[in-house]
Amino acid sequence: MGHGSYSFAGRSMRAVASGYDHKSTQEIFKQRSVNNAMDPNGVTLRESRDSVDHPETFPIILALDETGSMGSIPHYLVKEGLPHMMEMIMANGIAHPQVLFLGIGDHECDRSPLQVGQFESSDPLLDKWLTDLYLEGGGGGNAGESYLLAWFFAQRYTVTDHLEKRGKKGLLITIGDEPVLKELSARVQKEIMGDGEYLDTTALEQLDKARERYDVFHLHMLQGSNGNRQDVKDGWKELMGDNCTFVQRREEVPTVIASIITGLPTGGKETVNEAPEPTEEILKPIEEML
């Protein structure tokens, strides 16, 4: 996968034709069950590979919470956030980004706690995988959501030329407003992924393994139902340190992602160790560009 290039003009015309500016979440995200192509059961690998069109790919995994409180994030991304994000990423020195969308739910409560797209570079295919997400709107009154499934999938089921050829990590970002569930049993792994060898594991173990392949970040949304709970914020800061960024509004997500990439030693123009908060200094030039 990953063929084709991102056309901002083409994307703009398609967005108008598709009615992204005025259609509701339900009108754009039409899946009423998991799309067969995004069902992880039986998946062996998702690959980010170099090509003639993209000689130095930069893999980016965006894991979107698709439970009830967070469905507005995918909707905003497809309306305007995704092209703005791609523009800022490419303006910051990443010429060949490849983005893989994951849908994250609750493996203790939901029917579809994990959905997986493909690494893509072109605007039609990125839109396709994003809008093919099934916004289950579930979750439960338990201890959190399954952000650890993003870490589990990334470390076990993805391969990238950025790592294999250049010895550099990709970027993995989870986005949501809940705590992370702490444990993932072998039984649940088999239910989600199909036949294979699995062991009971924890969120911390999967995070550590994912960090071997990716720079891992979490964007904690403060506008969700649990976003402002102090215990939730403290839990993410304890787990992620400076790689947890608190985001007030969904409109800030593209800017924050671009600022993270700018700060990575493996990509962008700068080499700093933490992702800055979206300050006025960051937002002002982006707003002028938009």
Provide CATH code, domain 8-289. 3.40.50.410
Express each pLDDT in 186-217 by its tens digit: 999 999 999 999 999 999 999 999 999 999 99
Express each pLDDT in 100-143 by its tens digit: 999 999 999 889 999 999 999 999 999 999 999 999 887 767 77
Amino acid at 120: E
The answer to whether residues 139 and 145 touch, using CB atoms and an 8 Å cutoff, is yes
Q: How far is CA 27 from CA 13, 20, 68, 127, in A?
A: 18, 9, 16, 14
Q: How far is CA 181 from CA 34, 52, 70, 142, 204, in A?
A: 22, 41, 17, 9, 10
At residue 275, the pLDDT reads 37
Closest residue by Cα to residue 121 from 212, 5, 274, 220: 5
Express each pLDDT in 58-111 by its tens digit: 999 999 998 876 888 999 999 999 999 999 999 988 999 999 999 999 999 889
Q: How far is CA 260 from CA 17, 36, 93, 173, in A?
A: 32, 32, 13, 10
Q: Where are the domains of the chain?
A: 8-289
Q: Beta strands 201-202 and 183-184: pairing type? A: antiparallel
Q: Which of 34-48, 69-83, 156-170, 260-274 has the lowest mean pLDDT?
A: 260-274
Residues 6+ apart with CB under 8 A from 240: 216, 217, 218
DSSP string for the chain: ---S---HHHHHHHHHHHTTTT--HHHH---SS--GGG--TT---EEE---SS-SS-EEEEEEEE-SGGGTHHHHHIIIIIHHHHHHHHHHTT-SSEEEEEEEE--TTT-S-SEEE---B-SHHHHHHHHHT--------SSS-B-THHHHHHHHHHEEEHHHHTT---EEEEEEESSPBP-EE-HHHHHHHH-SS----EEHHHHHHHHTTTEEEEEEEETTSSSTT-HHHHHHHHHHHGGGEEEESSGGGHHHHHHHHHHT-TTSSS---SSPPP--HHHHHHHHHH-
Q: Which of 33-47, 190-204, 264-278 has the lowest mean pLDDT?
A: 264-278
Model confidence, pTM: 0.90
